Amino acid sequence: MDDREAEGRGGVSRRELLKGVAGGAAAMAAMGLAGTAARAEEKMEAAKLKGRIKQSVSRWCYGKIPMKEFCQACAAMGLKGIDLVGPGDWPVMKEFGLVGTCTPSIGIGKGLNRKENHESCLAAMRKAIEQTAEAGFPNVIAMSGNREGLSDEEGAKNCVEGLKAIAGLAEEKKVTVVMELLNSKRDHKDYQCDHTAWGVDVCKKVGSPRVKLLYDIYHMQIMEGDVIATIRQSIQYIGHIHTGGVPGRNEIDDTQELYHPAIMRAIADSKYDGYVAHEFVPKRDPLTSLRQAVAICDV
């Protein structure tokens, strides 16, 4: 997950999305990208995906494409849903049979690791859980927040307390709260949930099947590497996954250092039944790059 201005051809700030700016498709409807979306749909219409990986995509990486055209292209590619979209765009997604695979709720820097943030964070998360459940969607995102001098032990304790306070509602509504793992080395300096082991420990102490991690391949390759082994070891605590090329968070093809087909096979073989959302910023034609990623991950 990235709150910097999206680079390349297709992006908007993800920080804006997490602040609730999920709309804007109508204002962009005249941008002239209909032809691109239509061509992508035409190319993918006859494609038959294996379906071992349920693929989706983060909206913020493709924010310049009008929402309806983007949904049409995504459905034609075989994607199952779209990540980080607010309720305002859900009716359009549903027109094309797409689900909201991870609902935004709170920002990155001010999260659950500080008790003074709990009241506002939990209120936002409760609202997101209620809306997500009503729509029949699966996940709501959570953030640890930045350390700001707080020890990892104290931050974990506070996150556990906050997540326990929300777990009962999540269980009742059958919605999974996923705390995202981000790198604190390059993109999110001082972010606390920056190692898988730390996040897994928090999930274990919460002890709810509806509190898990969002494992971001891009971020965790930067922080710790060992991606396949870590996924296999921690899969029961992973509720959602993001892709992204390293370095640069761009295409997941042979321009980057990880081999995503092998990662996807490990995920599929683990019997993981959640979504894998593409969250890379395309440097080339956005829908061409997204279509390529879908093919790479269809193992």
Could you report the per-residue pLDDT of 122-136, keeping only the tens digit for each?
A: 999 999 999 999 999
Residue 9 lies in a domain: no
The pLDDT of residue 54 is: 98
Overall domain count for the chain: 1
Going by their DSSP bridges, the two strands 54-58 and 81-83 should be labelled as: parallel
Q: What stretches in the chain show pLDDT beneath 50?
A: 1-12, 16-46
> Whole-number mean pLDDT of the chain?
89
Residues 6+ apart with CB under 8 A from 108: 1, 3, 15, 18, 143, 145, 146, 182, 188, 191
Residues 6+ apart with CB under 8 A from 24: 63, 67
Report d(CA 100, CA 32) in Å as an integer.
25
Per the CB < 8 A criterion, the answer to whether 132 and 172 are in contact is: no
What is the domain extent for residue 101?
A: 14-297
Write out pLDDT tens, residues 28-49: 333 333 443 444 344 444 358 9
Residue 238 lies in a domain: yes
Residue 5 lies in a domain: no
Residue 4 lies in a domain: no
Dihedrals phi, psi of 235, to nearest 5 degrees: -60, -30
Q: What share of the chain is helix, strand, coil (3-state, %, to 5)?
A: 45, 15, 40
Report d(CA 299, CA 262) in Å as an integer.
8
Residue 204 lies in a domain: yes
CATH classification at residue 93? 3.20.20.150
Residue 164 lies in a domain: yes
| 16's tokens | 């804006």
Residue 49 lies in a domain: yes
Residue 3 lies in a domain: no
